[in-house]
Each structure stands twice: as structure tokens, then as C-alpha cells.
């Protein structure tokens, strides 16, 4: 179920519908220097998935990186009681049942500082997403800041994504500007993400962009960068 993309980086996918549309979901697994694992946007952890994770290392951390990507965060504590959960801003209020270690911000906590960097994408409160960067593999990890749907996706998804200009390319959709409530804050967050030297982009919905992700993200968000 887990697919290795680079040293210490794996992903797993499963079908998932959002508003009735099959968009799929992806979990990213990062192995830290001490061998412990961080689960980004966790998927359900059934026996098979746990066995694969256990073969990689102990699951120590999980992050629910935006206000919408929390559905299976509770599974982590059940499967790995010793794991510590970190939540996107606003999630503790939305999911008070989730026992968590802390709220994600621009500063990586000591647990993974220096190995993973993060930016709280401000001004977009619908998601309150925190983007991650794994410098060792030049990988940007996001959930909903970009999609990457293509010919392998189900027909309804292809149709809808074509309508919102999000088909066959990595990047934000035509609807993304509507989600932004404070453009100055959003632009500043975007600039911090674009200061990262990434090449691969892992999205939650659609395909992983194995290379060339940087110019696609930069150009996809030109409407926000140019709005000065």
C-alpha cells in the first residue's frame, strides 16, 4: 500500500469522495533522522497498513494539516497510542475530541525542526492549511493548496476539474481565489512556500508531481503573486 518516492518518503492512497465527487486521498509518510515516522494527513490504519508502517519504523507523529483533513486523525491514536497528533489552526475547535500535542504554525516544533519545514497558509480560513517541505528530498507536501487530476481519474472528476480549470496540470483551481479572504496574508504565505527549493509536489488529490513542481506552483498562483 505504501509507495516509496524518495529516501525516507512514502505515500499511500485510497478512494474518497468530497461533495460526492471521487477525489481520492493520499497520506504521506516521512521518516525522520532518528528513524521515527511522521504521518501527514493520515488514512485509515488497518492491519495491512500498520504492518507496512511498522516495517519502516515507529509511528511517532501525525499531522492533520488542514481543517478538512482530519477524518482519520483519530485512527492514529487508536493504532499507536504513543504517537503525538498535531492539528491545523482551527481544528481543535472543530474536533475537540482529538487529543493533540499542539497546533501547527510557521515554526516546526523541535520534534522535526531542521528536517521538515512548514508554513501556515494564512488568509484562507476555509482550510487553514499548513504546508510542509522536506528539504532532503526537495518535496513540497500539501493537501488542498493544489490538485493534480488527469486522465487516470474517474470521468465525473475529470469533467468537474476541467470546468474549474484544474485538469491535466498541478496547481490551484479557478475557485481558489474565492477561498482567500485576506490576499496580503495569503500572498505572504505563498512567497514563503516559494522560497523553498522544491521539485516534487505531493498533493492529496490527483497525482504526485514527481518533478517540475516548482514552476507549476509558481505559475498556477501567478494571479495571487501579481495582485500587488
Positions touching Fe ion (CB under 5 A) are: 143-144, 204
Measured from the CB atom, is 28 or 204 closer to Fe ion?
A: 204
Could you tell me the smallest distance in angstroms from the CB atom of residue 219 to Fe ion?
A: 22
Measured from the CB atom, is 128 or 204 closer to Fe ion?
A: 204
Measured from the CB atom, is 144 or 153 closer to Fe ion?
A: 144
Tell me which residue has its CB nearest to Fe ion: 144
Could you tell me the smallest distance in angstroms from the CB atom of residue 157 to Fe ion?
A: 13
Could you tell me the smallest distance in angstroms from the CB atom of residue 113 to Fe ion?
A: 26
Could you tell me the smallest distance in angstroms from the CB atom of residue 70 to Fe ion?
A: 10
Measured from the CB atom, is 143 or 146 closer to Fe ion?
A: 143
**Pairing mode, strands 21-22 and 25-31:** unpaired
Measured from the CB atom, is 173 or 189 closer to Fe ion?
A: 173
Could you tell me the smallest distance in angstroms from the CB atom of residue 57 to Fe ion?
A: 26
Amino acid at each position: 500500500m505504501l509507495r516509496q518516492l524518495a529516501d525516507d518518503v512514502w505515500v499511500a492512497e485510497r478512494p474518497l469522495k468530497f461533495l460526492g465527487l471521487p477525489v481520492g486521498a493520499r497520506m504521506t509518510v516521512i521518516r525522520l533522522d532518528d528513524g521515527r515516522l511522521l504521518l501527514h494527513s493520515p488514512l485509515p490504519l488497518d492491519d495491512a497498513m500498520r504492518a507496512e508502517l511498522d516495517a519502516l519504523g515507529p509511528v511517532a507523529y501525525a499531522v492533520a494539516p488542514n481543517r478538512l483533513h482530519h477524518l482519520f486523525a483519530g485512527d492514529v491514536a487508536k493504532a499507536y497510542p504513543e504517537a503525538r497528533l498535531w492539528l491545523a489552526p482551527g481544528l481543535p475547535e472543530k474536533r475537540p475530541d482529538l487529543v493533540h500535542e499542539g497546533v501547527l504554525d510557521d515554526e516546526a516544533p523541535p520534534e522535526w525542526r531542521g528536517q521538515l519545514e512548514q508554513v501556515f497558509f494564512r488568509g484562507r480560513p476555509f482550510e487553514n492549511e499548513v504546508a510542509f517541505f522536506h528539504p532532503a528530498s526537495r518535496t513540497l507536501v500539501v493537501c488542498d493548496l493544489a490538485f493534480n487530476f488527469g486522465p487516470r481519474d474517474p470521468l465525473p472528476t475529470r469533467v468537474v476539474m476541467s470546468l474549474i480549470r484544474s485538469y491535466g496540470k498541478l496547481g490551484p483551481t479557478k475557485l481558489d481565489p474565492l477561498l482567500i479572504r485576506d490576499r496580503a496574508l495569503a500572498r505572504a504565505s505563498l512567497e514563503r512556500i516559494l522560497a523553498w527549493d522544491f521539485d516534487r509536489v505531493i498533493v492529496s488529490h490527483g497525482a504526485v508531481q514527481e518533478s517540475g513542481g516548482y514552476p507549476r506552483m509558481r505559475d498556477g498562483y501567478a494571479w495571487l503573486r501579481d495582485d500587488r
